[in-house]
């Protein structure tokens, strides 16, 4: 249900199962029906959720509204691995001693890249502030740049 | 109205504006500069626009927001940095607030249903003119009123602005002499109200939001503040970040997002919270760790009727036991030693066994109250109020705060949170309840009725004098009684506004006439004022399209007694009208030819704001109308504005007091200044004020801590205590700064009432083995009739899920994501299961939110209610769960 076939424009071989996570993320179904259904054994070696590796979520701290003090954290609450793959870093709001920021933080060990956070994120403009980066090393690099205050984009 | 699309503001501008705002925030350390999202993806900040001060439309927090309007259209909503409740912060609902006005299916024309059989079918409504719709509503209301006024009812709301609620209350109580008016606040705050009145003889908390900034220990009692009160939880969290010693205990029957950041979580067996609070009290008393001087000065002890049973039968309110429990003999005085004896059963061991909490955890919690230096703030909402012994649990929280002297001081006190933006301001303060009149007055008190008669220019005795002339001296039907009667065919006319009863009531299988012989909903004439189609409009005979939120001027009163005005900023769409206009149009028709004394009824009640010949308000300026109504309402809490009222307030003429056997007379003084309200403009100028608002040296000042001695300018209750406080033989005030004075109580003493543990109305058995708890989540508000039109919020949380413990799922062969049927003795619904852990119920408990009308969970929830408050228990229905 989550997967759809790649078309010629995607850059992948036509028919390869791909996820458009903004449209429909992987549900991390407990019994992985997609693995059983796959006729070519392309989806394999998955027994439990933590075996999945589809990438790593990266948050754009500039455009994420939670980072600016809005009580949002939708990505955190919808995460199938809540409190593991996404946690909340509670921070005092700058210049405001009586309110705090609930900052969602991706755990690079625990996140399997299902993309539900991307599907459900409320912000669309200028772009969705959370994305799945397929290459984990690149994702970690981007996150580090975000945290050091640089805009990855 | 043609919707205007701003062409001059591009998406690029929005991005730029947002980026600039972020940069400003970072550079200047500004408190709030975040430009929130706009209703159409564009933003102002350029071109000609005007900004209005306002309050968020949704929950009880009452966050201030600024509304930017251009070309007659709301283009952005931003947190108000000058509002001290939220300092510009919002939650994701508030961030997208601008879109709430512009959902595609706004109701813009009156609708009439010609065939009652089409109710509930999603079809059958046709467009009509206002004239036709109003004539029809008035004709039906008048016919029922003349025939048998026990068969009509109004279901009001904690979302109805104060002026509208006041006018409604006046129309219903004085115009129709009917007490069959009750609000949806009955479903959320009634248990809190009854306890406030019992303990303090006045409604609403002594403390304020600022307590969150000073407490040493927070205790949440069955309250998922992290989701249901997002801004306040941000404030609580900031306090913890500011001081690592601050601790948070979270007590509940499920682990929630609030538990996730608590220092200690105590999960208890449903209903045993009354035992836990008594266990703390027992520890304080038996170990002599209570605040003895405080107790001696400020507390009296009482016990009350016990073994109350539950509302399984429709006639339960009338049983002898209930009559006693709710009558004058329902509570009696006891000695402190008797109270101690009653508590003695609640040892740590007994309570641990009953509740499932460990002795060590209970001891740790009890020690918090035993520490004389700890500032402790208890916070609660629906877990405590929607409880078959909810009034008792409110009592029990007050009991432990009173025994420990932890009340009405900065950072220290019990704080009852509310769920709706003006449950306090309207439903409670202007009297839209079956038993109430404005300003804490009640219908069954002759002095209260007389006071109201004077302020409403009614002849003496008009509101009732006794059995020969009952008037409104007997309370009307409470909410569940109204809807039980409706289902039984005993209500002929029902009108509702600012609520969605067909989604939010419990036991909808019965009340919507499904799978039951109780199908009165199809026979009664039902009128619904609404802004979007809802399940309730689907059962309405007439739907009246209303102006929404800032499409008219309004006033909200939030949980901390803060009254705030939201300005009219845009016009309503199409033919939608201000609810006050709708109500007065009907009132004019229904009261035509009626007299009160020798005067025309309608003119006597509403002639100051309505021109009958023109069939409209005397002015197009809603500010002007609101001010006139506010000034009239304000006389209730400023009795010196009307001498005749002040005389009743002070019992001049010795009419309402008590004469002792020796002939000495004790007057009955109402102390109406205790809830003093300020002139209308003050609320606009100050971005809201918390009552009692006092005039000191020409300035109107809020009271943050009621009953607390100290300077008015610092937020203490100086004026109230000076006027009404306890004095010594020389007439000098007894209280010193830092003390409290419970001047609203008859003996300057709060009532500590022993309230035991009694089991829930239903308990799990082989057939229905799970507890089913319901509630709210952050993204949607109530039945999502408003948040559901905001695409971003629907994207974030498209459907309700049933949260279950993985062990329970394993036993039933249910996987995460499976659809199940949830079935109770009352009804059933289907829903998808989640074990992801957003909420983590203990084994044997399941949870689902009530926003999703496609998983109508209230079909299965029972309608058994607290005997004292008549508030239903939404938290403890017993259900079975079956994979489908």
Question: How does pLDDT run across B842-874, given as a tens digit for each residue?
Answer: 999 999 999 999 999 999 999 999 999 999 999
Strand pairing category for B562-566 and B595-596: unpaired
The reply to whether A108 falls in a domain is yes
User: Which of A49, A115, A122 best tests the B interface by mutation, with the highest count of B CBs <10 A?
Assistant: A122
Who among B30, B92, B260 is closest to A71 (CB)? B92
| Euclidean distance between CA atoms B839 and B835, whole angstroms | 9
The reply to whether A14 falls in a domain is yes
Catalytic residue among B382, B432, B583, B853: B382
Model pLDDT, residue A49? 87
Domain holding A80, by residue range, is 4-148
CB B839 within 8 A of CB B255: yes
Is B382 designated active site?
A: yes
Collapsed DSSP state (helix, strand, coil) of residue B556: strand
Strand pairing category for B801-803 and B264-267: unpaired
Is B817 designated active site?
A: no
Closest residue in B to A96 (Cα–Cα): B31
- Nearest of B305, B434, B479, B358 to residue B874 by alpha carbon: B479
Contacts of B795 in chain A (CB under 8 A): 119-122
Taking 3-state DSSP, the helix, strand and coil percentages for chain A, each rounded to the nearest 5, stand at 25, 20, 55
CB B124 within 8 A of CB B540: no
Is B732 designated active site?
A: no
pLDDT band at A146 (very low <50, low <70, confident <90, very high): confident
CB B537 within 8 A of CB B145: no
- List Cβ neighbours of B837 (8 Å cut-off, separation of 6 or more): A82, A83, B803
The reply to whether A131 falls in a domain is yes
pLDDT band at B449 (very low <50, low <70, confident <90, very high): very high
CB B383 within 8 A of CB B222: yes
Is B711 designated active site?
A: no
- Measured in angstroms, the CA of A109 and the nearest CA of chain B are apart by 18
Residue B36 has pLDDT above 90, yes or no: no
| Euclidean distance between CA atoms A96 and B238, whole angstroms | 9
Who among A27, A70, A90 is closest to B90 (CB)? A70
Whether A125 and B15 lie within 8 Å, measured CB to CB: yes
Model pLDDT, residue A10? 58
Model pLDDT, residue B48? 85
Q: For chain A, how many structural domains are there in total?
A: 1
Task: Give the length of chain B.
Answer: 884
Share of chain A above pLDDT 90, in %: 58
A120 to chain B, any CB pair closer than 8 A? The answer is: yes
Whether A74 and B235 lie within 8 Å, measured CB to CB: no
Contacts of B34 in chain A (CB under 8 A): 65, 68-70
Q: From start to end of B453-552, where are the E strands?
A: 493-497, 525-530, 542-545
A129 to chain B, any CB pair closer than 8 A? The answer is: no
User: Which of A62, A76, A99 best tests the B interface by mutation, with the highest count of B CBs <10 A?
Assistant: A99
pLDDT band at B340 (very low <50, low <70, confident <90, very high): very high
Collapsed DSSP state (helix, strand, coil) of residue B443: coil
- Measured in angstroms, the CA of B359 and the nearest CA of chain A are apart by 28
Whether the link from the prior residue into A126 is cis, omega within 30° of 0, is: yes
Task: Read off the pLDDT of each residue in B766-792 and give the average, rounded to a whole number.
Answer: 97
Model pLDDT, residue A139? 93
Model pLDDT, residue A29? 87
The reply to whether A55 falls in a domain is yes
Residue B766 has pLDDT above 50, yes or no: yes
Burial bucket for residue B611 (CB in 10 Å: 0-12, 13-18, 19+): exposed
CB B206 within 8 A of CB B743: no
Q: Residue B478 CB: number of other CB atoms within 10 A?
A: 22
Who among B37, B88, B238 is closest to A92 (CB)? B238
Residue B421 has which token pair? 């933006």
CATH number at residue A80: 3.30.70
Whether A93 and B238 lie within 8 Å, measured CB to CB: yes
Who among A29, A62, A83 is closest to B837 (CB)? A83
Task: Read off the pLDDT of each residue in B729-733 and give the average, rounded to a whole number.
Answer: 95
A90 to chain B, any CB pair closer than 8 A? The answer is: yes
- Measured in angstroms, the CA of A86 and the nearest CA of chain B are apart by 12
Q: Write down all domains in chain B, each with its CATH number in brackets.
A: 11-102 (3.30.200.210), 190-416 (3.40.228.10), 770-861 (2.40.40.20)
The reply to whether A153 falls in a domain is no
The reply to whether A67 falls in a domain is yes
Collapsed DSSP state (helix, strand, coil) of residue B58: coil
Query: How many helices (H) and strands (E) are present in chain A, helices listed first?
Result: 4, 6
Whether B235 and A98 lie within 8 Å, measured CB to CB: yes
- Nearest of B527, B617, B478 to residue B184 by alpha carbon: B478
CB B102 within 8 A of CB B77: no
- Measured in angstroms, the CA of A51 and the nearest CA of chain B are apart by 17
More confident residue, B84 or B406: B406
Model pLDDT, residue B295? 98
The reply to whether A127 falls in a domain is yes
Catalytic residue among B39, B420, B585, B622: B420
Is B188 designated active site?
A: yes
Catalytic residue among B419, B476, B720, B775: B419
| Euclidean distance between CA atoms A113 and A56, whole angstroms | 5
Contacts of B233 in chain A (CB under 8 A): 71
Least confident of A139-153, B411-425, B539-553, B834-848: A139-153
B511-516: long-range contacts (C-beta < 8 A, 24 or more apart)?
B511/B483, B511/B484, B511/B486, B511/B487, B511/B863, B512/B120, B512/B539, B512/B859, B513/B120, B513/B487, B514/B827, B514/B859, B515/B827, B516/B487
H-assigned helices in B176-298: 190-200, 225-228, 230-242, 257-260, 273-286, 292-298
Q: Dihedrals φ, ψ of B611, to 5°?
A: -100, 110
| Euclidean distance between CA atoms B674 and A141, whole angstroms | 61
- Measured in angstroms, the CA of A13 and the nearest CA of chain B are apart by 30
User: Which of B796, B801, B806, B849 best tests the A interface by mutation, with the highest count of A CBs <10 A?
Assistant: B796
A78 to chain B, any CB pair closer than 8 A? The answer is: yes
Residue B40 has pLDDT above 90, yes or no: no
- Measured in angstroms, the CA of B82 and the nearest CA of chain A are apart by 12
- Measured in angstroms, the CA of A126 and the nearest CA of chain B are apart by 6
pLDDT digits (tens, 9 = 90+) for B253-262: 999 999 999 9
- Nearest of B402, B404, B281 to residue B341 by alpha carbon: B281
pLDDT band at B148 (very low <50, low <70, confident <90, very high): very high
Model pLDDT, residue A37? 85
Who among A30, A68, A102 is closest to B22 (CB)? A68
CB B182 within 8 A of CB B648: no
- List Cβ neighbours of B57 (8 Å cut-off, separation of 6 or more): B97, B100, B159, B421, B548, B549, B786
Strand pairing category for B819-824 and B877-883: antiparallel
- Nearest of B688, B692, B695 to residue B675 by alpha carbon: B692
pLDDT digits (tens, 9 = 90+) for A1-23: 577 766 656 567 777 778 899 99
> How far, rounded to the nearest angstrom, does the alpha carbon of residue B693 sit from its chain's CA centroid?
21
Residue B42 has pLDDT above 80, yes or no: no
pLDDT digits (tens, 9 = 90+) for B605-664: 999 999 999 999 999 999 999 999 999 999 999 999 999 999 999 999 999 999 999 999
pLDDT band at A38 (very low <50, low <70, confident <90, very high): confident
Burial bucket for residue B731 (CB in 10 Å: 0-12, 13-18, 19+): exposed
Contacts of A73 in chain B (CB under 8 A): 778
Is B585 designated active site?
A: no
Residue B338 has pLDDT above 60, yes or no: yes
CB B189 within 8 A of CB B394: no
Which helix (H) or strand (E) covers residue A146, if one does?
helix A136-147
Residue A116 has pLDDT above 50, yes or no: yes
Catalytic residue among B61, B63, B67, B189: B189
Collapsed DSSP state (helix, strand, coil) of residue B213: helix
Which residue, chain included where needed, has tokens 């449209």? A23
pLDDT digits (tens, 9 = 90+) for B534-561: 999 999 999 999 999 999 999 999 999 9
| Euclidean distance between CA atoms B837 and B841, whole angstroms | 8
User: Which of B25, B235, B237, B840 best tests the A interface by mutation, with the highest count of A CBs <10 A?
Assistant: B237
Residue B298 has which token pair? 């400020």
Residue B33 has pLDDT above 60, yes or no: no
How high is the ipTM of this complex?
Answer: 0.94
Q: Dihedrals φ, ψ of B796, to 5°?
A: -65, -40
- Nearest of B517, B515, B511, B516 to residue B486 by alpha carbon: B511
Whether A27 and B817 lie within 8 Å, measured CB to CB: yes
pLDDT digits (tens, 9 = 90+) for A68-115: 999 999 999 999 999 999 999 999 988 889 999 999 999 999 999 999
Strand pairing category for B610-611 and B599-600: unpaired
Which helix (H) or strand (E) covers residue B422, if one does?
none
Who among A31, A70, A120 is closest to B796 (CB)? A120
Share of chain B above pLDDT 90, in %: 92
| Euclidean distance between CA atoms B289 and B236, whole angstroms | 27
């Amino acid at each position: 249900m989550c997967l759809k076939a790649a078309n010629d424009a995607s850059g992948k071989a036509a028919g390869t199962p791909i996820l458009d996570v903004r449209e429909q993320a992987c549900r991390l179904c407990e019994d992985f029906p997609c693995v059983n259904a796959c006729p070519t054994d392309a989806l394999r070696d998955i027994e439990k959720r933590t075996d999945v590796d589809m990438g790593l979520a990266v948050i754009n701290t500039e455009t994420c509204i939670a980072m600016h003090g809005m009580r949002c954290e939708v990505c955190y609450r919808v995460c199938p691995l809540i409190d593991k793959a996404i946690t909340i870093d509670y921070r005092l709001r700058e210049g405001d001693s009586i309110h705090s920021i609930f900052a969602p933080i991706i755990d690079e060990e625990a996140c399997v890249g299902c993309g539900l956070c991307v599907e459900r994120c409320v912000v669309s403009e200028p772009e969705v502030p959370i994305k799945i980066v397929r290459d984990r090393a690149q994702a970690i690099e981007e996150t580090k740049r975000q945290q050091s205050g640089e805009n990855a984009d | 109205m043609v919707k205007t699309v701003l062409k001059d503001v591009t998406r690029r501008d929005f991005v730029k504006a947002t980026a600039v705002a972020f940069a400003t925030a970072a550079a200047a350390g500004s408190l709030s500069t975040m430009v929130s999202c706009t209703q159409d993806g564009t933003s102002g900040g350029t071109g000609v626009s005007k900004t209005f001060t306002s309050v968020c439309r949704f929950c009880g927090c009452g966050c201030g927001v600024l509304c930017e309007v251009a070309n007659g259209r709301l283009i952005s909503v931003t947190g108000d940095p000058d509002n001290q409740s939220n300092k510009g912060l919002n939650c994701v609902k508030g961030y997208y607030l601008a879109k709430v006005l512009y959902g595609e299916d706004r109701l813009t024309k009156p609708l009439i249903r010609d065939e009652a059989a089409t109710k509930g079918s999603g079809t059958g409504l046709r467009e009509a003119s206002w004239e036709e719709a109003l004539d029809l509503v008035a004709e039906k209301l008048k016919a029922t009123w003349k025939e048998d006024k026990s068969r009509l009812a109004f279901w009001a709301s904690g979302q109805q602005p104060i002026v509208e609620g006041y006018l409604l209350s006046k129309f219903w109580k004085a115009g129709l002499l009917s007490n069959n008016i009750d609000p949806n606040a009955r479903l959320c705050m009634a248990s809190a109200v009854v306890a406030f009145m019992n303990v303090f003889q006045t409604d609403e908390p002594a403390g304020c939001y600022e307590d969150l900034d000073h407490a040493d220990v927070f205790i949440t009692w069955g309250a998922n503040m992290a989701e249901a009160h997002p801004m306040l939880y941000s404030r609580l969290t900031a306090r913890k970040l500011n001081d690592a010693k601050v601790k948070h205990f979270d007590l509940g029957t499920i682990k929630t997002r609030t538990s996730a950041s608590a220092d200690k979580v105590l999960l208890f067996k449903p209903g045993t919270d009354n035992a836990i609070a008594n266990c703390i009290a027992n520890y304080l008393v038996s170990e002599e760790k209570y605040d003895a001087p405080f107790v001696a000065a400020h507390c009296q002890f009482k016990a009350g009727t016990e073994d109350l049973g539950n509302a399984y039968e429709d006639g339960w309110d009338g049983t002898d036991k209930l009559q006693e429990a709710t009558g004058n003999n329902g509570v009696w005085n006891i000695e402190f030693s008797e109270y101690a004896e009653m508590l003695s059963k609640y040892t740590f061991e007994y309570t641990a066994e009953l509740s499932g909490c460990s002795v060590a955890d209970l001891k740790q919690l009890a020690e918090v109250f035993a520490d004389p230096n700890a500032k402790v703030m208890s916070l609660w909402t629906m877990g405590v109020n929607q409880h078959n012994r909810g009034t008792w649990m409110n009592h029990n929280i007050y009991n432990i705060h009173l025994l420990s002297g932890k009340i009405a001081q900065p950072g220290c006190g019990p704080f009852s949170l509310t769920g709706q933006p003006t449950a306090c301001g309207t439903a409670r303060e202007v009297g839209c309840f079956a038993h109430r009149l404005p300003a804490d007055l009640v219908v069954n008190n002759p002095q209260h009725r007389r006071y109201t008669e004077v302020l409403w220019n009614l002849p003496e005795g008009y509101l009732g004098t006794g059995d020969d002339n009952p008037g409104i001296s007997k309370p009307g039907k409470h909410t569940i009684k109204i809807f039980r009667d409706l289902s039984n065919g005993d209500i002929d006319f029902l009108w509702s506004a600012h609520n969605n009863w067909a989604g939010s009531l419990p036991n909808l299988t019965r009340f919507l006439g499904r799978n039951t012989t109780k199908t009165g909903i199809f026979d009664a004439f039902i009128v619904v004022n609404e802004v979007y189609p809802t399940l309730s409009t689907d059962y309405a005979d007439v739907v009246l399209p209303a102006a929404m939120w800032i499409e008219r001027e309004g006033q909200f009163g939030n949980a901390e007694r803060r009254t705030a005005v939201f300005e009219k900023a845009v016009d309503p769409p199409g033919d939608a009208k201000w609810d006050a206009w709708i109500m007065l149009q009907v009132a004019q028709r229904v009261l035509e030819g009626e007299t009160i004394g020798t005067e025309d009824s309608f003119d006597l009640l509403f002639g100051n704001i309505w021109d009958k010949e023109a069939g409209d308000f005397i002015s197009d300026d809603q500010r002007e109308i609101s001010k006139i109504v506010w000034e009239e309402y304000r006389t209730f809490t400023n009795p010196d504005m009307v001498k005749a009222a002040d005389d009743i307030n002070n019992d001049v003429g010795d009419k309402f007091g008590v004469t002792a056997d020796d002939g000495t007379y004790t007057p009955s003084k109402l102390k109406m200044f205790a809830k003093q309200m300020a002139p209308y403009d003050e609320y606009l100028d100050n971005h809201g004020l918390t009552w009692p608002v006092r005039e000191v040296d020409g300035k109107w000042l809020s009271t943050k801590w009621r009953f607390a001695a100290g300077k008015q300018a610092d937020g203490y209750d100086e004026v109230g205590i000076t006027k009404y406080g306890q004095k010594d033989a020389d007439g000098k005030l007894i209280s010193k700064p830092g003390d409290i004075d419970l001047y609203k109580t008859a003996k300057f003493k709060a009532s500590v009432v022993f309230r035991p543990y009694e089991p829930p109305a239903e308990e799990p058995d082989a057939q229905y083995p799970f507890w089913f708890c319901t509630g709210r989540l952050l993204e949607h508000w109530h039945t999502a009739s408003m948040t559901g039109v905001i695409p971003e919020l629907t994207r974030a949380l498209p459907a309700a899920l049933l949260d279950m413990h993985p062990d329970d799922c394993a036993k039933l062969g249910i996987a995460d994501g499976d659809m199940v049927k949830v079935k109770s003795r009352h009804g059933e619904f289907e829903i998808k299961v989640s074990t992801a852990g957003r909420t983590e119920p203990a084994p044997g408990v399941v949870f689902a939110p009530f926003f999703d009308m496609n998983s109508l969970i209230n079909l299965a929830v029972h309608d058994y209610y607290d005997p004292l408050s008549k508030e239903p228990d939404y938290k403890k229905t017993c259900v079975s769960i079956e994979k489908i």
